[in-house]
Structure 1
C-alpha cells in the first residue's frame, strides 16, 4: 500500500487527565469542549455570528463517519462506501474525527458538551474508501468523483498517496473536482519530509499543522507547495472506537479538517464565489501573525495561518474565477518535470513563429556569420599549418551539450501503508506517528 492517513498516533487514545475513562458522558463531553483550544484561538463564537456553514456540503473521503455519534446526529448525509460496507460505519475513528472538527454540533444543554466543529451547520457527505488499512490508489479517486457528482462543495482529503502524481487516477479525479467548482483540501503529511501527494497537486489547498502556540508542528511535511497552516496538535475529536467516544489527535489531518471547515464557512457566506475565489479569500486573509520576517509563500506556513474571521469579513476582491492556485505547481507536480531546462528552451524556440521581417533579419545575419566563419577558418589553418591537429590535447570543442545532461525524471518514491495500532483504551504516547507496527494480520 502507498497510502497514509495524515494524523498522528499520539492522539489515537482516549482523552485523559481531566477526562477519565469512567467519567459520566456529560462530564466527559464538557472536558472535551474545554480542551478545544482552536475554537478559542479562532474566537469561534464571533465567527459564527457571520457564518456557520449552512447550506454547504463537505465530503470527508476517509474511513467512514459514525452518524450516530451524539455530536454528529443529523449532520451526516447517506454517502457511499467503496469498500463494500456502510459509509456510516467507522471501525478506525479517523473519518468520524475529521467530520466532527468540520461539522460537529456538540450535544447536551445548549449543545455545550462534546466536540463543536468550526462549521457546525454544514453537512458531511461520508465517502468511505478505507475500511481499516484497505484503501488503495484505485478506490479513493472513485470516491472523489462520487462526492463531486453528489454536489459536495468542499472535499477533505486527510491522507497521502504517493501514487497520485500527475496523470494518475487520483490526479485526474481531483482535476475533475476542480473543473466542477469544488475546493479540494489535503494534508501535506506527517513525516517531516516534503509535501506529499495529493496535497502537492496543482490547485489543491495543501495544509500544515500548528501547535497550541501557533508554531509549526515539527512533523509536518513542508517545502514548496504549502498553501496554509492551521491548528493540528492535541486536538479533541469524536471517536466512537474509544470507550467514552472521544480521543485526541495530532497531525496535518486535523489541520486539513479545520481549513475545510473555513472553506465551508466562506462558501456559505459568499455563495456567488467560485472555488478558486474561495481559495483566494482563504489565502488573502491568512497571516503570519507573530512569525516575523516570513515571506509568502513560506515553506512551513505557506501564505500564512488560516483565519476564519478574517476570511469572512475582510474586504477582498473576488479575483479571477480560477483562483491563485490554478497554475501553481508544487514540487514534482508538473508532467514535464523530466524535461531539462535546455530541452524546454529548445521546445519554446521551436514553437516561436517569427514575423516576416524577422526572417529577413535572421537570413541577413546568417549570411554575415558564414562569411566571417570562412575568414576565420582560413586564418586558423595558416596559423596551425605544421602544428598539432585541432583534435589533439587541449584542442577542439566539447561535443554539443557536454556538461549539460538531461535532468532525470523526478521519482515518486512509494511508501508502504502503516496503520496505527489498535487503541488499548488507556493513555499511551507514541513519539513517531509513522514508527508504529501495523495492526496484526495486515
Structure 2
C-alpha cells in the first residue's frame, strides 16, 4: 500500500514508539510503501496508529494519507447480539460507522489492544477535573464498552467498527467522582456525533450541572446515550434528562433482563447479557446495562452515517418507530435493521 506524507514525519526504527531510534525526517509529498495494516503504538497528537514498511521502519500514521480497513472474521457475527439483530446484513450494505465520531466517557481504553487495530482513537483524561492526555484504562470497563462499538473484527466486531473513537477518561479503578465525569461531558467537542455513557449518576446535588452539560450536547445535535443502571445501583439521573436515550437490557431469549434497574424509566432495551467484547488482556463476555448502551450508541452512529443532520429527536423517533417487544410485551427492543432500512 502506498501513502503520502502530509507533514514532516520522523522515521522510527524497529518500534512504533516516540522513543525508538530515528534516522531522518520525511518531507511532505514523500511517497511511502507500507504494509496494508496499522499498528498500535505511542499516542501522538491524539492518535496511536502507526504504519510499517518491510524494513521494519515505523511511521506515525497521523502524518500520512493512510486509509486501512481490516477484514472481518465471519465467525464474529455468530455472537448472539449481532446475529439476532442482523448486523452482518447491515455491514454488508456498507453501514459500519465510517466518518462518524463516537465519544465514550468511561474509564479509558487499552488503545494497544489488537482488537483496535485500524481504529482511530483519540481522547483525554479528566481525573480530579484536570485535563490530561492519560486515557489508559486501569479498570477495564471502558475497553469493554469500546469494543462493542469499534472492535475490528479479528475476534469480535463492533457494530460501528469503522467509526472514530474519542475516549474521555472520567473515572478510574481506585476512585470515582461524578464531578470528574460531568467535567468530561462539559468538554466534549461539539463536532462529536454520538456520546455513550455507561456510568450511573446519582448525586442530586450535581443534577443541575449534569443537566446543563447534557443540554449543551443535545443543543449541538449530538445524540446522547446512557445506561439506565443495574439493580445494585440507583436509577441513572441521566435517564431523567430530556433528550437522552436511556437503555435497559434484554437477554438472548428476548426477555427483559431483570438486572436492569427497576426504578425510573428508560427508552429502549438492547442486548446486555453475555456480550463478547474486548477486555484489557484479551476478550470476555460481559453482562449489564453498561454493555447495552454502547450497542444503542453504535446503531445511532450507523444512523448518523446515513445522514449527519440526524439529531437526538430524530434518533428517538427512529427507535420508537422501529422496535420489537420483549416476550412479556411490555418493553421496546431496538431493531437496528428496521432503523437503517
TM range (shorter): 0.7 to 0.9
Trace 1:132-211 onto structure 2 (pairs within 5 A). 132-149=173-190, 151-163=191-203, 167-191=207-231, 195-211=235-251
1:73 matches 2:117: yes
What SS class does the counterpart of residue 115 from structure 2 fall into? Answer: coil
Match of 2:300 among 247, 252, 263: 263
Match of 1:41 among 84, 87, 105: 84
CA contact (8 A) 2:106 2:141 kept: yes
Question: Which residue in 2 is equivalent to 1:9?
Answer: none
Question: Which residue in 1 is equivalent to 2:126?
Answer: 82
Gap regions ≥5 residues in structure 2: 1-71
1:100 deviates by 0.6
**1:210-251 per-position Cα deviation (integer Å, ceiling 9, x unaligned):** 1111211111013552100000001112011x3xx1122100
**1:326-350 per-position Cα deviation (integer Å, ceiling 9, x unaligned):** xxxxxxxxxxxxxxxxxxxxxxxxx
CA contact (8 A) 1:65 1:87 kept: no
For 1:140 and 1:162, locate their aligned partners in 2 and report how far apart those are by CA, in whole Å: 12
Question: Which residue in 2 is equivalent to 1:231?
Answer: 271
CA contact (8 A) 1:148 1:182 kept: no
1:169 deviates by 1.9
CA contact (8 A) 2:200 2:233 kept: no
CA contact (8 A) 2:231 2:262 kept: no
Gap regions ≥5 residues in structure 1: 1-28, 108-113, 295-300, 314-442
Q: 1:31 to 1:120 in 2, by over 3 A?
A: closer
Question: Which residue in 2 is equivalent to 1:127?
Answer: 168
For 1:167 and 1:212, locate their aligned partners in 2 and report how far apart those are by CA, in whole Å: 34
CA contact (8 A) 1:125 1:147 kept: no
Question: Which residue in 2 is equivalent to 1:342?
Answer: none
Question: Which residue in 2 is equivalent to 1:286?
Answer: 323
1:135 deviates by 2.6
1:171 deviates by 1.8
Question: Which residue in 2 is equivalent to 1:390?
Answer: none
Trace 1:298-313 onto structure 2 (pairs within 5 A). 301=331, 304-313=332-341
1:98 matches 2:135: no
Higher strand share: 2
What SS class does the counterpart of residue 105 from structure 1 fall into? Answer: coil
TM-score normalised by structure 2 residue count: 0.72
TM-score normalised by structure 1 residue count: 0.56
Match of 1:222 among 246, 262, 286: 262
CA contact (8 A) 1:50 1:312 kept: no
What SS class does the counterpart of residue 91 from structure 1 fall into? Answer: coil
1:82 deviates by 1.0
Q: 1:179 to 1:32 in 2, by over 3 A?
A: same
CA contact (8 A) 1:87 1:126 kept: no
For 2:81 and 2:301, locate their aligned partners in 1 and report how far apart those are by CA, in whole Å: 17
For 1:129 and 1:224, locate their aligned partners in 2 and report how far apart those are by CA, in whole Å: 24
Trace 1:99-114 onto structure 2 (pairs within 5 A). 99-107=146-154, 114=155
**1:181-219 per-position Cα deviation (integer Å, ceiling 9, x unaligned):** 111111111117773212222221110011111211111
Question: Which residue in 2 is equivalent to 1:371?
Answer: none
Aligned residues: 266
For 1:190 and 1:265, locate their aligned partners in 2 and report how far apart those are by CA, in whole Å: 26
Q: 1:99 to 1:137 in 2, by over 3 A?
A: same
For 1:121 and 1:34, locate their aligned partners in 2 and report how far apart those are by CA, in whole Å: 16
Tell me which structure has the larger Cα radius of gyration: 1
